[in-house]
Structure 1
Amino acid sequence: MLNQDIIREATRLTRSGQLVEATALLQRMLRGEKEPGATAPTVDHAALASGREPPTIDAKANAAETRRPRRAAQPAVDIAKNLSGLGLGGALRRAPPPMADIVPDGVKFVEGVYANGAGSRAYRLFIPSGYHGQPIPLVIMLHGCTQSPEDFAAGTRMNFIAEEQTCFVAYPAQRADANQAKCWNWFRPADQQRDGGEPSLIAGITRQIMCDYSVDSERVYVAGLSAGAAAAAVMGSTYGDLYAAIGIHSGLACGAASDLSSALIAMKQGGGSDEGPEDGPSIPTIVFHGDRDNTVHSKNGARIVRQSVGGTSTTTKVHRGRVPGGHAYTRTVHTDVSGRSILEHWEIHGAGHAWSGGSPAGSYTDPDGPDATREMLRFFLEHSLPQGRN
């Protein structure tokens, strides 16, 4: 069967609700098993149906991934792990992190809810101790699949760095009834558009916080991990008048996929257009991606860079370094003709699908650095919306 035929058949299975069968078919194609008689991977359907936990990536698994060669063959049930970004895996069952790992002592981490015609989403908001009513920046953080706002906050330690810089940080929470694995639905056309679907909910949470608190409207940012990073790319593409910069960690470009089949292919092989926005330079972007990411291929990070730069004339500078006792990395900085840094690409050598420099208190983290949280917030605060854009 040709690849085009496989994709058509997988699309048909998806539309008929046979997600596991579609997944298995595409997995065989991606491994190069094209002969009609190839044996299909076996999946524990009972486990998936009952919600029992399939194998998935956690902090320990990610650390091991960066230190030893990948096994020649993975168990077939690892499909659930590899496709967690699409909501086919069961929820990761972790004990909630202690509050001491989420926020500094004595600092507020309040709850909120926003609703519109597309539904409702809860969120948590970090309020730094240095906030006394003056306008300060706001960072929106979009968690990855199976994560929660508390887990993501603990793993990235964004609240601790934001406390140093006096910034708000908000963590919208994806609902399990919107996606089984609590993934943001970055690959659905209805969730890639302005003023509709999940983008309208995330933008609505942003604006609600801007109404309830004194936020510097020229310094509002959005970032995410994995499916959350792909959603952040969507937000940058659809709400360039709201966000001054975006951060994409182990994610995919806006428009990289339009359904389950293309999402699977994009995750494994890279996907999306290299074309930038038609109405001028794209939003300033910082990208982090491990070059041994077996869940979302690092080609996706390179594609985000090409899409972000678009037709803008830039000068590049390449910096290479290594975290003491940790990963080597290559940092490529693109500056425009005015000398402004508009894009940074951090390729982390030997790293897998995990937040770089994160804390083991949260899931999907790699403590061997570099510190994506600190570098991301540093990049954000170097950018503000041009006058008249908000």
Structure 2
Amino acid sequence: MLNQDIIREATRLTRAGQLVEATALLQRMLRGEPTPDAPADTGGRAALAGPLIIDVRANVVEETDRPPQSEPATTAQPRMRRTLPDRKEARSGIGLRDVMKRAPRSTPDIVPEGARFIEGTYSSPAGSRAYRLFIPSGYRQQPLPLVVMLHGCTQSPDDFAAGTRMNLLAEEHHCFVAYPAQPSRANQAKCWNWFRTADQQRGRGEPSLIAGITRQIMDDYLVDRKRVYVGGLSAGAAAAAIMGATYNDLYAAIGIHSGLACGVATDLPSALVAMRQGGPNPKVISGDRPPVPTIIFHGDRDTTVHPNNGDQILEQSLGATRTQKKVHRGQVPGGHAYTRTILSDAHGRGILEHWNIHGAGHAWSGGSPAGSYTDPRGPDATREMLRFFLEHSHLEE
């Protein structure tokens, strides 16, 4: 089949709801492999690649332009490690909502002593989503910052919390952390549907659900409304970019790890093209407004989401805003070299930050092997992301 025919067939399969088959067809095309002349066999799912799942390559680096920070406990491990999803879940095909009904994994990897990690559900006309909420032990009815973390494909809130160690750092800095859960009924691989037009708009689809979870927590707990943030990995990072574009009044800053800019895809075929080589020039989202402060992490050897996407996020966020640029280069001891670019506004405030991690692939940098899709060698993306978040807040109106 010619490439045009492949894309046409993949689009037909997508509209028919056969996402696995459409993805496999496009992945073969992008790899240059021969493709069948007939439509994909819907019965051969076991032989096909899963839809839009994240890869497992990544790396670590610690900056040298500021005082050294403590290395994650797993930095000494010489190789990146992938922790597979819960085997019972894989064997039984249980959905994420069912898994979350089990007793939570109250281990030191997820919940520090004295803290809580509770379950919640948000419902609206757009649907419903379960979520987990981390409440630090120091919460005494005083307003605290809130970080919303969007997991990658095949992951769960518990898995993402363990891999990023965000709860452990949130305990140090006295922050709430929310983890919305994407169930398999919404996407077979539990990916946020960042590539669908209906899920890229304010007040509709998944953005409205994520914003709804955020606001529900803000109503149920004392949250510092000027310090609410959203970040994610891969598909979750692409969803975080959408939240920054559509709800800039809600989130004071966003964090994007191995993600894509808002609007670079409108369906599954264009999503896979964007992942492979970067999408079309993304629409500038800031307009005349100051850009939403954004921190970006991307490995320059990411073969799942092309590094061009990190640059496109920067361009989309910046728009026509005039900035001053500073570039710092460093290396984590025993880890990867990196280039850290900081763009500051006229007042000298760093509003955009890009970490290009040399030799890194597609996984959470500096994460723990207790979770999936992590690279313990650094840099510590969690610490740097939270540091960046807490440097920004919505200005007084």
Supply the AA of the counterpart residue of 1:297.
H
In structure 1, runs of 5+ residues without a counterpart are: 69-80, 82-89
Q: Following TM superposition, by how much is the alpha carbon of 1:12 offset from its aligned partner in structure 2, in angstroms? A: 2.4
CA displacement 1:281-326 (0-9 Å, x = unmatched): 2211000011111111111111101111111111111111111111
What RMSD, in angstroms, separates the aligned Cα atoms of the two structures? 3.1
Percent identity of equivalent pairs = 71
Aligned counterpart, 1:73: none
Give yes or no for the alignment of 1:104 onto 2:103. no
Aligned length: 360
Supply the AA of the counterpart residue of 1:194.
R
Candidates 378, 381, 392, aligned match of 1:369: 378
3-state SS of paired residue (2:108): helix
Aligned counterpart, 1:192: 200
Aligned ranges 1:31-42 → 2 under 5 Å: 31-32=31-32
3-state SS of paired residue (1:99): coil
In structure 2, runs of 5+ residues without a counterpart are: 60-77, 85-92
Structure-2 change in CA distance of 1:41 and 1:316 (3 Å):
farther
Give yes or no for the alignment of 1:12 onto 2:12. yes
Instruction: Answer yes or no: is the 8 Å Cα contact 1:191–1:199 preserved in 2.
Output: yes
Instruction: Answer yes or no: is the 8 Å Cα contact 1:329–1:348 preserved in 2.
Output: yes
Candidates 331, 334, 337, aligned match of 1:328: 337
Aligned counterpart, 2:186: 178
Structure-2 change in CA distance of 1:284 and 1:261 (3 Å):
same
Distance in 2 (CA, whole Å) between partners of 1:201 and 1:169 is 16
3-state SS of paired residue (1:318): strand
Give yes or no for the alignment of 1:342 onto 2:341. no
TM-score by length of 1: 0.84
Q: Following TM superposition, by how much is the alpha carbon of 1:209 offset from its aligned partner in structure 2, in angstroms? A: 0.7
Instruction: Answer yes or no: is the 8 Å Cα contact 2:227–2:252 preserved in 1.
Output: yes
Aligned ranges 1:82-93 → 2 under 5 Å: none
3-state SS of paired residue (1:9): helix
Structure-2 change in CA distance of 1:164 and 1:46 (3 Å):
same
Give yes or no for the alignment of 1:47 onto 2:55. no
Distance in 1 (CA, whole Å) between partners of 2:308 and 2:349 is 25
CA displacement 1:77-125 (0-9 Å, x = unmatched): xxxx9xxxxxxxx999999855221011121111111100011111111
CA displacement 1:140-163 (0-9 Å, x = unmatched): 000111111111000000011111
Distance in 2 (CA, whole Å) between partners of 1:6 and 1:279 is 41
Aligned counterpart, 2:252: 244
Segments ≥4 residues shifted beyond 6 Å: 35-44, 56-59, 90-96
TM-score by length of 2: 0.83
Aligned counterpart, 2:124: 116
Aligned counterpart, 2:171: 163
Structure-2 change in CA distance of 1:204 and 1:57 (3 Å):
closer
Instruction: Name which structure has the greater RCO, CA cutoff 8 Å, separation 6+.
Output: 2
Distance in 1 (CA, whole Å) between partners of 2:54 and 2:312 is 24
Q: Following TM superposition, by how much is the alpha carbon of 1:29 offset from its aligned partner in structure 2, in angstroms? A: 3.2
Supply the AA of the counterpart residue of 2:206.
E
Supply the AA of the counterpart residue of 1:9.
E
Distance in 1 (CA, whole Å) between partners of 2:288 and 2:44 is 47
Supply the AA of the counterpart residue of 1:29.
M
Aligned counterpart, 1:77: none
Instruction: Answer yes or no: is the 8 Å Cα contact 1:281–1:310 preserved in 2.
Output: no
Aligned counterpart, 2:243: 235
3-state SS of paired residue (1:292): coil
